[in-house]
Amino acid sequence: MSARPISPLPTLCRRRFMQGTAAAGALSLLPWRLRHALAAPAPVLSGTEFALAIEPVAVTINGHAAMATGVNGQLPAPILRWREGDTLTLAVTNRLSEPSSIHWHGVRTPSPMDGVPGLSFRGIAPGETFVYRFPVHQSGTYWYHSHSMFQEQTGLYGAIVIEPKGGYAQAFDRDYVVLLSDWSFETPETIVSNLKFQSDYYNYGQRTLGSFIEDAEKKGLAATVADRLEWGKMRMSPTDILDVSGATYTYLINGQAPAANWTALFRPGERVRLRFINGSSMSIFDVRVDGLPMIVVQADGNDVQPVTVDAFRISVAETYDVIVQPKADRAYTLFVQAEDRSGYARGTLAPRPGMAAAIPSMDPRPMRSMADMGMGSMQQGSMPGMNHGSMSGMQMDHGSMSGMSGMEASPEARKLQGSVGVDNVAMMPTERLNKAGEGFPPGRRVLTYADLRALKPGNDPRPPTHEITLHLTGNMERFIWGFDGKKFSEAGPIELKRGDRVRFVLINDTMMEHPIHLHGLWSELENGHGEFRPYKHTINVKPGEKLTYLVTADAPGRWAYHCHLLYHMETGMFREVHVA
């Protein structure tokens, strides 16, 4: 949304939208260039022909002026509203002085339309207009962003809402896009450069003499000394949660800082759909609506069996659609905390504009454990935050979810140790899809990947014919990231044949989460639901975790495959998956 407050738009009746209004029809007679010139900056663009101009845009965030990379003069970029079954034409003009691109995240397009410079096309040169043209065969919430350098950090991100052909599976009365992002007044090049010199540059939650004394009082001097020595020997810090934190970031909801109080209106008793998109570059968020439970109905654009939670952790590039039903005539705070508790984004659900509810205090900062280092699991029994309430009556296949056991590190994993690109190898990676992660207070129902069960069975019943195992590796000290100890420039593509049914096995040897995104193909996460495994485009792998997913290589092309933490991707955590 642009920084100017907008007047409340009349709510569009969905039926009328689906049929197309007369005004839109008349406008479509004019060529797209002229239409674009005539139209005022619009926060929502719909239809089948779009003109998007990538250009520098002046923004004000928290009272400070800055230049962002916007689309059609807006930050975030306009919401694109498509219809399943349409064929779209999107003319993207690059008005920057450097090459640009737009990638339609989660939307399956022919590979030349996927928007990755070097794999799909040459990129969009300054002054050039590239016309994307592709049919849409899916529905749900997705997003789009630049795939060139760090433009995604400086503002080139926006939401995509694709209306389903057959209607929605759950009813709702209001519908809002909640696009979460992180904004820095430092340039992204400076951020990477800082991290290359001092990788804990943005970590202001480190262990100090003060925390040593506190721990010694709680656990005893000997245990505390032993703990410090254990981490010190590895040259690791359990306080490494996010590489870039609120020390430089202002967290935004739809481009608005917390003080601006982005507000979504509702009438008490209405069911409100919130389309959460994590469009940030480096920030994993813990989301909740203070005082309201949320019913998760879609993940990564695909329907899931509705599951009621109090909070969820959304990693970079993921989307979750939830329905809330506020019954009281009061405001509710939309509270979005950075995982390391270094800041938060905040909005309000309210019956009238100008209302605000109390902003809760932040949850305790999580700490990494030895399980995150891949030393196996420390705890038995159920973890706080595990949501079993909605599972009653559903069969859960526990066969592939051992929960506690791990595998000994393989010989090829051990070979990685000591090399320049690797600072740790998980000796006993654990399968823990049923764990929400650290940092949630006990008693809060938090979504886990094990809770995601697709509404309909998958389309490819074949078992995989082979497995591809990849280690997620990195060297925190040097800020180098990669797969199997190698950067993109040091490795070749992953080759698949058209029609292959393959299992990807990911082992996270690092102590950071990595949201791994495969372009062009669906990743079917094996989370114990058998043929109702969820279809995802971005899968967050926890530190020291091992997980698997199935892929049908049904779309030919050269597809990008990478960690969606922008500075990890640009420093090497990227591969090509080539479907021949």
Between residue 181 and residue 210, which ones bind another protein under the rule CB under 8 A? 192-194, 196-198, 201, 204-210
The amino acid sitting at 208 is T
Q: Is 512 near another protein (CB under 8 A)?
A: no
Write out the H or E segment, with its range, that includes residue 167: none
Interface characters, 54-83, with another protein (x: CB under 8 A): --------xx---------------x-x--
What is the closest distance, in whole angstroms, from the C-beta atom of residue 204 to another protein in the complex?
Answer: 5
Map the footprint of another protein across residues 94-113, applying CB under 8 A.
98-99, 108, 110-113
Cα–Cα distance between 537 and 516 in angstroms, integer? 8
Minimum CB distance to another protein smaller for 309 or for 550 = 550
Site size toward another protein, by CB under 8 A = 151
Cα–Cα distance between 505 and 515 in angstroms, integer? 14
Q: Are residues 110 and 123 in contact, defined by beta-carbon separation less than 8 angstroms?
A: no
What is the β-pairing status of strands 574-579 and 494-496? parallel
Q: Is 175 near another protein (CB under 8 A)?
A: yes
Q: Are residues 188 and 153 in contact, defined by beta-carbon separation less than 8 angstroms?
A: yes
Beta strands in 11-170 (DSSP E): 44-46, 49-61, 64-71, 77-83, 87-94, 103-105, 129-135, 140-145, 157-163
Q: Is 409 near another protein (CB under 8 A)?
A: no
Minimum CB distance to another protein smaller for 263 or for 448 = 263
What is the closest distance, in whole angstroms, from the C-beta atom of residue 198 to another protein in the complex?
Answer: 6
Q: Is 259 near another protein (CB under 8 A)?
A: yes
Q: Is 395 near another protein (CB under 8 A)?
A: no
The amino acid sitting at 549 is Y
Total Cβ atoms within 10 A of residue 49: 16
What is the closest distance, in whole angstroms, from the C-beta atom of residue 394 to another protein in the complex?
Answer: 18
Minimum CB distance to another protein smaller for 293 or for 493 = 493
Q: 92 pairs with which residues across the strands?
A: 52, 130
Q: Is 348 near another protein (CB under 8 A)?
A: yes
Minimum CB distance to another protein smaller for 62 or for 444 = 62
- Region of 129-137, 426-434, 441-449, 507-515 interacting with another protein (CB under 8 A): 129-137
Total Cβ atoms within 10 A of residue 21: 13
Contacts of 217 (CB under 8 A, 6+ apart): none
- 58 phi/psi in degrees, rounded to 5: -80, 130
Task: Note the helical H segments in 204-302.
Answer: 209-219, 221-234
CA distances (Å), 274 to each of 120, 201, 218, 265, 325, in order? 32, 34, 42, 12, 11
Instruction: Decide: helix, strand or coil at residue 492.
Output: coil
Instruction: Please select the residue that binds another protein; options are 76, 123, 429, 543, rule is CB under 8 A.
Output: 123
Cα–Cα distance between 426 and 410 in angstroms, integer? 10
Instruction: Please select the residue that binds another protein; options are 70, 106, 140, 406, rule is CB under 8 A.
Output: 140
Q: Is 170 near another protein (CB under 8 A)?
A: yes
Instruction: Please select the residue that binds another protein; options are 55, 84, 215, 397, rule is CB under 8 A.
Output: 84
Q: How far is CA 421 from the centre of its chain?
A: 25
Instruction: Decide: helix, strand or coil at residue 122.
Output: coil
Q: Is 389 near another protein (CB under 8 A)?
A: no
Q: Is 498 near another protein (CB under 8 A)?
A: yes
Q: Is 358 near another protein (CB under 8 A)?
A: no
Q: Is 91 near another protein (CB under 8 A)?
A: yes
Minimum CB distance to another protein smaller for 120 or for 377 = 120
Map the footprint of another protein across residues 429-488, applying CB under 8 A.
454, 456, 458-460, 475, 477-478, 480, 487-488
Cα–Cα distance between 133 and 142 in angstroms, integer? 17
Q: Is 492 near another protein (CB under 8 A)?
A: no
Q: Is 238 near another protein (CB under 8 A)?
A: no
Instruction: Please select the residue that binds another protein; options are 39, 65, 125, 378, rule is CB under 8 A.
Output: 125
Contacts of 14 (CB under 8 A, 6+ apart): 163
Instruction: Please select the residue that binds another protein; options are 95, 165, 365, 503, rule is CB under 8 A.
Output: 165
Q: Is 6 near another protein (CB under 8 A)?
A: yes
Interface characters, 536-565, with another protein (x: CB under 8 A): ----------------x-xxxxx-x-x---
Instruction: Please select the residue that binds another protein; options are 279, 366, 464, 572, rule is CB under 8 A.
Output: 572
Q: Are residues 292 and 324 in contact, defined by beta-carbon separation less than 8 angstroms?
A: yes
Chain position carrying tokens 């309210």: 350
DSSP string, 333-389: EEEEEETTSS-EEEEEEESSTT---PPPPPPPPP---TTTTTB-----SPPTT---G
Instruction: Please select the residue that binds another protein; options are 41, 56, 73, 118, rule is CB under 8 A.
Output: 118
Instruction: Decide: helix, strand or coil at residue 542.
Output: coil
Q: Is 510 near another protein (CB under 8 A)?
A: no
Map the footprint of another protein across residues 275-294, applying CB under 8 A.
none
Cα–Cα distance between 391 and 394 in angstroms, integer? 6
Instruction: Please select the residue that binds another protein; options are 176, 183, 312, 549, rule is CB under 8 A.
Output: 176
What is the closest distance, in whole angstroms, from the C-beta atom of residue 324 to another protein in the complex?
Answer: 13
What is the closest distance, in whole angstroms, from the C-beta atom of residue 199 to another protein in the complex?
Answer: 10
Q: Which of 118, 106, 117 is nearest to 80 (CA)?
A: 106
Q: Are residues 543 and 372 in contact, defined by beta-carbon separation less than 8 angstroms?
A: yes
Map the footprint of another protein across residues 18-57, applying CB under 8 A.
18, 30-34, 37, 43-44
Q: Is 258 near another protein (CB under 8 A)?
A: yes
Instruction: Please select the residue that binds another protein; options are 120, 278, 315, 548, rule is CB under 8 A.
Output: 120
What is the closest distance, in whole angstroms, from the C-beta atom of residue 12 to another protein in the complex?
Answer: 4
Instruction: Please select the residue that binds another protein; options are 121, 215, 503, 530, rule is CB under 8 A.
Output: 121
